[in-house]
Structure 1
Amino acid sequence: MTWEEAEYLDYLQSERHGYAWVMQHHGGLSPQEAREAALARYPYEPADAPYRGLIFHDEAWHWAMLAIHGDRYTAEHPELVDPSPDYRALE
């Protein structure tokens, strides 16, 4: 997918926000730690990066749950497979 810069930046900001929210509310991180985790998970990729935006193929909820609970979170915590209503309200 080819991203317009403004579109990419909007999506990047949105995913960082969602990831930080999950890390704070489900992962127990402080707001500052959650923001730092989001920046680390979603670094800016330059326009010429070959796979720019590939991380967006799964939403922030999924990536955060993997970080918090590990690869088997869907089996061990089936109640967390779908994002919570509070997370959905962020959109």
Structure 2
Amino acid sequence: MEWSEVDYLGCLQSERRGYAWVMQHHGGLTPTRAWEAALERYPYEPDDAPFRGLLFHDEAWHWAMLAIHGDRYVVEHPELAHPSAEYLDS
């Protein structure tokens, strides 16, 4: 997919915000550390980077749950398989 810079930056900011929210509310990180984790997980990719934005194929909720609970989180924590209402409202 071709991203305009405005679209890419908007998506990047949104996913970072969602990831940080999950890391704070479910991962127990401080707001500062949660934001740092989001920046690490969602680094800026230049517009000529191959597969720019590929990370966006799954929602920030999923990537954060993988970081917190591991790749079997859907099996071991089925209640977390889908984003919570609080996350969606954040």
Structure 2: distance between partners of 1:66 and 1:72: 8
Q: Which runs of 5+ in 2 are unaligned?
A: none
Once the two structures are superposed, residues 16-72 of structure 1 have per-residue CA deviations (whole angstroms, 9 ceiling, x without a partner) of 000000000000000000000000000000000011000000000000000000000
Q: Which runs of 4+ in 1 moved over 2 A?
A: none
TM-score normalised per structure 2: 0.99
TM-score normalised per structure 1: 0.98
Q: Shift of residue 15 of structure 1?
A: 0.1
Structure 2: distance between partners of 1:25 and 1:66: 14
The equivalent of 1:67 in structure 2 is 67
Structure 1: distance between partners of 2:27 and 2:33: 10
Structure 2: distance between partners of 1:32 and 1:88: 21
Q: Which runs of 5+ in 1 are unaligned?
A: none
Structure 1: distance between partners of 2:39 and 2:69: 19
